[in-house]
């Protein structure tokens, strides 16, 4: 009896060890807080992958830039020193130039338009451009429409932006556009932004409401203007070599998990957008809700001429008119 119990114990122990050995752990990270639209994205992704692969893959989640900012994380995924990352489109054009077109200001009418473009043939074709750069793009998700904050003055028109020193993403399209407004641009990785605003190294920054809220920028910024000047996607990226090694069933599990996570992420963006202004006002921010967007667009006329040369007017119009 004792021997058989011992044997059963050994078998059980060996089985558990084998199961533990069979589990593959991968890392995914974001630059913002866990309690955010991006946190919802990676938490949902991790849960879905584990469920769809019966626990054979465990996704470890990291927040607040704790293992690197967006650009470093994309480089790590490209090199294979990190398996996955979830990033805004900010630094993406430095790796996949074809995606630059998405960052053109006032290109998208609203979130429904932007989501339709990304989920349709244009966005799906852009996902394939990552393959040759050592990355598998699993799905587009969302950061949201970007708005301007600063500590100096209320921004009611493009003229109010002149001379403001603003942190921008490390993105050539953004930098060119903001210079067109007369902004003194300071490209900077996201984890450094709060301190830079606190110390007055920069006067302001621009980000979607979900980011402004989760980063607690209301503590270091007084003025918010809902410019909605750029739509900012997010994206799930995986090292291409690691993705290629997955079985067909596991590839499908990762892709489907990213889609489910993107839907949860977009739902959180909608929720944050709906309550954001009231919450930020309650925390002391002065909010300009309505601006004359036509004035902002006309101020960028010279910059748009350059964008048309870069991207082709027909390509820009295809996105603008997509239904």
* Per-residue DSSP letter, 283: T
Whether the predicted pLDDT of 50 surpasses 90: yes
* Contacts with 122 (C-beta within 8 Å, 6 or more apart), sequence order: 318, 319, 322
**Rounded distance, CA 80 to CA 60, Å?**
16
Whether the predicted pLDDT of 150 surpasses 90: yes
Whether the predicted pLDDT of 20 surpasses 50: no
Per-residue model confidence (pLDDT) at position 49: 98
Q: How far is CA 222 from the centre of its chain?
A: 24
Whether the predicted pLDDT of 2 surpasses 70: no
To the nearest whole percent, how much of the chain has pLDDT over 70? 93
Whether the predicted pLDDT of 251 surpasses 80: yes
DSSP β-ladder status, 135-150 and 223-239: antiparallel
**Rounded distance, CA 41 to CA 23, Å?**
22
Q: How far is CA 128 from the centre of its chain?
A: 18
3-state secondary structure 143-156: EEEEEEEECCCCCC
Arithmetic mean of pLDDT, 284-294: 96
For residue 234, give the nearest of 68, 62, 60, 32 by alpha carbon: 32
Q: Largest Cα–Cα distance in the chain?
A: 88
Q: Tell me the pLDDT tens digit for each residue of 89-136.
A: 989 999 999 999 999 999 999 999 999 999 999 999 999 999 999 999
CA distances (Å), origin 176, targets 31, 63, 144, 218: 24, 30, 20, 27
Per-residue model confidence (pLDDT) at position 9: 54
Which tokens sit at 148?
Answer: 């301007």
**Rounded distance, CA 147 to CA 219, Å?**
17
CB 59 within 8 A of CB 280: no
Residue 169 host element (H or E): none
CB atoms within 10 A of CB 131: 14
Q: Tell me the pLDDT tens digit for each residue of 261-288.
A: 999 999 999 999 999 999 999 999 999 9
| pTM exceeds cut of 0.85 | yes
For residue 107, give the nearest of 246, 269, 296 by alpha carbon: 296
Which residue shows structure tokens 């244009």? 122
Domains of the chain are: 2-320 (3.40.190.170)
Instruction: Calculate the average pLDDT of the chain.
Output: 94
Runs of H (alpha helix) within the chain:
2-22, 37-52, 70-79, 111-119, 121-128, 172-180, 193-199, 209-214, 240-245, 248-282, 293-299, 301-311, 313-320
Per-residue model confidence (pLDDT) at position 189: 87
Per-residue model confidence (pLDDT) at position 22: 79
Whether the predicted pLDDT of 320 surpasses 60: yes
Q: Tell me the pLDDT tens digit for each residue of 177-190.
A: 999 999 999 999 89
**Rounded distance, CA 165 to CA 143, Å?**
23
**Rounded distance, CA 54 to CA 99, Å?**
35
Arithmetic mean of pLDDT, 62-81: 96
């Amino acid at each position: 009896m004792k021997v058989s119990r011992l044997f059963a114990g050994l078998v059980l122990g060996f089985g558990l060890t084998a199961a533990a050995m069979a589990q593959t752990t991968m890392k995914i990270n974001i630059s913002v807080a866990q309690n955010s639209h991006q946190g919802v994205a990676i938490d949902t992704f991790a849960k879905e992958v584990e469920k769809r692969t019966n626990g054979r893959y465990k996704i470890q989640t990291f927040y607040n830039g704790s293992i690197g900012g967006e650009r470093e994380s994309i480089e790590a995924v490209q090199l294979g020193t990190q398996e996955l990352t979830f990033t805004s489109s900010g630094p993406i054009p430095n790796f996949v130039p074809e995606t630059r077109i998405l960052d053109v200001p006032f290109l998208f009418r609203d979130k429904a338009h932007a989501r339709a473009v990304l989920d349709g043939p244009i966005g799906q074709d852009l996902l394939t451009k990552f393959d040759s750069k050592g990355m598998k793009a699993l799905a587009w998700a969302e950061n949201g429409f970007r708005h301007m904050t600063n500590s100096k003055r209320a921004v009611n028109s493009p003229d109010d932006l002149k001379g403001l020193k603003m942190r921008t993403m490390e993105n050539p399209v953004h930098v060119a556009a903001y210079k067109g407004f007369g902004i003194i641009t300071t490209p900077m990785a996201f984890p450094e932004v709060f301190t830079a605003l606190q110390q007055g190294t920069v006067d302001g920054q621009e980000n979607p409401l979900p980011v402004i809220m989760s980063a607690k920028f209301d503590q270091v910024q007084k003025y918010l203007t809902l410019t909605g000047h750029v739509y900012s996607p997010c994206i799930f990226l995986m090292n291409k070599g690691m993705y290629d090694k997955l079985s067909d069933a596991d590839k499908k599990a990762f892709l489907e998990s990213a889609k489910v996570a993107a839907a949860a992420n977009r739902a959180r963006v909608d929720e944050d957008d709906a309550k954001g202004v009231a919450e930020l006002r309650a925390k002391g921010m002065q909010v300009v809700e309505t601006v004359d967007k036509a004035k902002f667009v006309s101020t960028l006329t010279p910059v748009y001429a350059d964008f048309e040369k870069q991207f082709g007017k027909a390509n820009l119009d295809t996105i603008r008119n997509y239904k």
